[in-house]
Amino acid sequence: MDKPSKAPSLLVLALILVALAVFGFMGARTMLSKHAANTEQQLALVWPELARLPQAERNFLVELALTCNVSARPATRPEVVECLRSVSGGAQSEAGARLERLLGQAPAR
C-alpha cells in the first residue's frame, strides 16, 4: 500500500526561502555594482579625472547620469554630454548652469 506523500516541513520551506533571498540579494548587488561601474566609465569619457573632482561634484554628475540612464547610451563623449544636459533643466536652471561649468572644466577632446 502506498503512503500518502508528506508535505514539506516548514523548516525546509524556510530554508528554501532564505536561500532564494540570499541569492537574490547577491545578484542584485552584483548588478548594481556593474551598473555603477559602467556609469563611472561613461562619465570618465568627459571627465577622465572624475575621481579627483570634489565629492559634491561627483555626486551631482552621478545623479544626473543615473537620472538620464547614461549606461543605456552609446559610450561616446557627445552621448554622455547630451544625456546629462537632457535632465539638467537647461542652462538657465541652477543644475544646468552647474553642469555647464563642470563641462567647461573638462578637458577638451
Q: Read off the C-alpha cell for 97.
A: 548652469
On the question of pLDDT at 1 being above 60, the answer is: no
What is the per-residue pLDDT across 13-65, written as a single tens digit (0 to 9) for each? Answer: 888 999 999 888 888 887 777 777 889 999 999 999 999 999 999 999 999 99
Say which residue the cell 552609446 belongs to. Answer: 74
Which residues have C-beta within 8 Å of that of residue 48, sequence separation ≥ 6?
Answer: 107
H runs (alpha helix) in the chain: 10-44, 55-67, 77-87, 94-105
With a threshold of 0.75, does the pTM exceed it? no
On the question of pLDDT at 86 being above 60, the answer is: yes
On the question of pLDDT at 5 being above 70, the answer is: no
The pLDDT assigned to 28 comes to 82
**How far apart are alpha carbons 50 and 44 in whole angstroms?**
6
Say which residue the cell 536652471 belongs to. Answer: 93
Q: Read off the C-alpha cell for 27.
A: 545578484
